[in-house]
Chains A and B, each alone.
Chain A
């Protein structure tokens, strides 16, 4: 072995390819297998309408899981996602009650509320050093409380604005739902952030070892804070999209997204311990979860069977490619 400076150029592959690990490829293979199995039940599972419909539904989870992935890369977790989603949706709708200005600012306002929740989480995790699993659990409860007060206390405006509806359900490119475009944009931004920016590097660095990152002169607390704020903002954005999709906001709308968003991130090969994972994997994970839920739902499987199969399939897929390396 000699000095390897000459090896440098080889590292110039696009980031997502360089990081593409077998887990991601296997996850995509699982998607194909799922579709194949579904098509045995009904040809419609391969129809473009169904697939686009799935992509559209997946894009809500996709946006939410994007934020979740950021904090998971840090080795943290955000359990406040359910009510952050709801708060984003409700507050966006609420803003619409304030005339044309309110209507125009509805989406940014909803997202801003999510960012604020994320900031509280971030302060707790980064500055007060409370384990994220617990501080986010508590903020979830607080936000739920706030939303209950809001819903009961003042006559709520809960109808989505036309813009929200358009972003969630319209299609600016023929045949391609806007929601999918939104997810694609969020995803591209995320890939760029993770692979090309200094911020992305520090996310991975902190996820691997925050102490070393700190001693390298990184303001790790600020990075963690920002990541949580982004996670909150993205969850709220997901809520805004969901409100646009359903054309209204409702209290329980976030409940169904917590565990799937975590599962999607991990199924995509991101280590729950932080520091390792690629966005492409998260994309695969999101599509996997969405398809699995949809196929089980449509196959007229009773709820009990659906839960059992859902669980078994996740474990099976992880056993296929999500195992931590053997110690010996």
Chain B
């Protein structure tokens, strides 16, 4: 095999997700009454980036062969915290942002501690911590409200030079500052190894607990970036139970569309970002196709079903039935 083939094989999931997204986005913008304009892209980007953060957060945990059903609640909780703290002078705002991120990291650390050191199954552990996070969010914000530094918010949700959505730039920066270093670090590799074959990794002397713990903490951090950005986008905080759960489920869908294996050890946060953008575009398609209002949820459901079934096409190429069970 040529070198580039190995690269393509490694990136297959990501490339596929990227392809799906580009196709869907092309369909969307070419049918949009306003067309492919900076405003339309900005709107789509803002909405997509939010989910992209949560999906990245989910990815980190999924890579370790875990799942985080509390990720949406961390997102909601940090949104509520941000709506209380990220205001005032630039200094206060900066400290507020720091506090929000710390809250996210702490939530992730709590999950990690319970799963890794408490040895509980991630699914149930995070169902439970999700309830706790939501409860705290509700304490902070019994009703929707609060505020945020609007100048900063407008900058980050607006356009740079009137063209490039600032949200995409922000996302890129976070990817470069958080994901890439993690991916290329020993701990990052450890997280993959633990997700792929924990016992083997342990026997090989990989620091799997530390690696998984780091993954959970960074997951909390990324979810907090999501919560922060939600606050910039909405100017407020809200302890919304339904949307917390919705983001959790969306993030799982995004991660899968993004080529991240739910069995752990395979996939990348970049893929999950494209998965998130593609998932969001499913919703946007409602806007350009003239569907009866009552048919819209069904339409979204069917597209989602098709998108997640795409991976199944590979199945027909399988010629050894034992490969079903990998």
Contact = CB atoms under 8 A, between A and B. Distances in A.
A263 B130 CA distance: 12
Given A133-B67, A145-B302, A314 B297 contact: no
A137 B249 contact: yes
Interface string A260-276: 00110011000111000
B312 interface: yes
Interface stretch (B14-22, B34-42, B134-142, B156-164): B134-142
A190 to B, nearest CB: 21
A135 B253 CA distance: 9
A130 interface: yes
A153 B296 CA distance: 13
Contacts of A145: 295-302
Interface string B270-309: 0000000000000000000000011111111110110011
A306 interface: yes
B124 A141 contact: no
A308 B136 CA distance: 7
B135 A142 contact: no
B180 interface: no
B109 interface: no
A107 B308 CA distance: 32
Contacts of B120: 315, 318-319, 322-324
B119 A79 contact: no
Contacts of B315: 128-129
Nearest to B114: A315
B125 interface: yes
A215 B114 CA distance: 37
Contacts of A22: none
Interface in B69-100: 69
A199 interface: no
Given A272-B123, A310-B131, A318-B125, A137 B312 contact: no
A263 B128 contact: yes
B181 interface: no
A25 interface: no
A128 B123 CA distance: 24
B324 interface: yes
Contact of B118 (A134, A149, A267, A323): A323
Contacts of A182: none
Nearest to B122: A272
A148 to B, nearest CB: 5
Contacts of B135: 303-311
Interface string A105-122: 000000000000000000
Given A131-B262, A143-B301, A308-B132, A138 B308 contact: yes
A133 B322 CA distance: 22
Contact of B121 (A143, A272, A307, A312): A272
Nearest to B199: A327
A77 interface: yes
B125 to A, nearest CB: 7
A152 interface: yes
Nearest to B322: A211
A267 B123 CA distance: 12
A144 interface: yes
Nearest to A315: B128
A2 B322 CA distance: 36
A323 B301 contact: no
Contacts of B293: 152
Interface in B235-254: 249, 252-253
B283 to A, nearest CB: 11
B23 to A, nearest CB: 19
Interface residues of A, number: 56
Nearest to A303: B138
Contacts of A79: 249
B263 to A, nearest CB: 8
A4 interface: no
A138 B121 contact: no
Contacts of A312: 128, 132
B51 interface: no
A134 B120 CA distance: 22
B231 interface: no
A304 B301 contact: no
B202 interface: yes
B64 interface: no
Contact of B252 (A137, A143, A303, A307): A137
Contacts of A266: 121, 123-124
A138 B304 contact: yes
A282 interface: no
Nearest to A138: B305
B7 interface: no
Given A130-B311, A142-B302, A314 B119 contact: no
B214 interface: no
A267 B322 CA distance: 33
Given A139-B305, A144-B297, A263-B124, 5 more contacts: A134-B253, A262-B124, A262-B127, A312-B132, A322-B120
Interface of A: 77, 79, 124, 128-131, 133-135, 137-146, 148-149, 152-153, 210-211, 214-215, 259, 262-263, 266-267, 271-273, 303-312, 314-315, 318-319, 322-327
16 contacts: A77-B123, A128-B312, A134-B252, A134-B262, A138-B301, A140-B301, A142-B302, A142-B305, A146-B298, A211-B322, A263-B127, A267-B124, A314-B128, A315-B125, A323-B119, A323-B120
